[in-house]
Amino acid sequence: DVKVTQSSRYLVKRTGEKVFLECVQDMDHENMFWYRQDPGLGLRLIYFSYDVKMKEKGDIPEGYSVSREKKERFSLILESASTNQTSMYLCASSIIAGGYNEQFFGPGTRLTVL
Amino acid sequence: GENVEQHPSTLSVQEGDSAVIKCTYSDSASNYFPWYKQELGKRPQLIIDIRSNVGEKKDQRIAVTLNKTAKHFSLHITETQPEDSAVYFCALANTGNQFYFGTGTSLTVIP
């Protein structure tokens, strides 16, 4: 059973703070993704990574950065948190082999920026 | 990025009736079309997917149809049950390994 875990379920931060969201998967998946989920907007891709130290921008990378030092861990960094980054953040992972494969999601982190 | 339009945004049906959710897209290179179900407070989970070389796929009460010419695909749930109540997301992917999601449909099945 694939397990994708995120470091926090709920997080409250202040404007201007540096925020780290951690995601870990235990199935040796090559691909990892960070999405934000907002009402009426669905899931929007922030960044994804297909290998260690590799990253690609998604649709809304502004204000975010990522780090993938180890295959199982993908971190999302908000360099200077702002109120418009209040959202639900979902991490996901998938394998590459065989074409397109199911994305397995973490439980999400609900971030509030005051 | 790719634009995926999903309709309707909300859907209420009586238990036992059918529910249909439709998504349209623009990139003809898209070739993988999954559907995810997200129950309240839980993570999205894959319920069915279809690849571009297939027109229809069925798994018990759920089915997905794909019309590549018209660039739309639909989720069909028959004999709906209260536990089908959730938010459903369509998605697609192309050769870039990047997924694009629809905006979601909140389905309520009324007992």
pLDDT for res A97: 57
Digit-coded pLDDT (tens) for A3-19 = 999 999 999 999 999 99
Q: Is the dihedral of CA B100, B102, B103, B107 positive or negative?
A: negative
Question: Between the CA of residue B103 and those of A72, B10, B84, what are the distances in Å?
Answer: 29, 11, 18
Residues 14-53 of B with CB under 8 A from A: 31-32, 34, 42-46, 49, 51
Measured between beta carbons, the chain A residues lying within 8 angstroms of B9 are 40
Does B106 reach chain A within 8 Å, measured CB to CB?
Answer: no
Which of A30, A47, A100 is the best residue to mutate to test the B interface, defined by the most B CB atoms within 10 Å of its own CB?
A100
pLDDT for res A32: 93
Decide: B33 and B91 in contact? Cβ < 8 Å: yes
Predicted confidence (pLDDT) at residue B96 exceeds the cutoff of 70: no
Residues sharing a CB contact under 8 Å with residue B21, sequence separation 6 or more, in sequence order: B6, B7, B8, B11, B74, B75, B88, B90, B105, B107
For residue B16, which phi and psi values (nearest 5 degrees)? Answer: 95, -20
Instruction: Quote the minimal CA–CA distance from B101 to chain A in Å.
Output: 6
Decide: A109 and A11 in contact? Cβ < 8 Å: yes
**Which tokens belong to B98?**
């990047």
CB–CB contact B93 A100 (8 Å) = yes
Question: Between the CA of residue A79 and those of A3, A19, A68, A89, what are the distances in Å?
Answer: 27, 7, 16, 15
- Asked if residue B82 has a cis previous peptide bond (ω within 30° of 0), the answer is no
Measured between beta carbons, the chain B residues lying within 8 angstroms of A48 are 97-98
Digit-coded pLDDT (tens) for A45-100 = 999 998 898 999 988 999 999 999 999 999 999 999 999 999 999 999 987 655 66
Instruction: Quote the minimal CA–CA distance from B44 to chain A in Å.
Output: 6
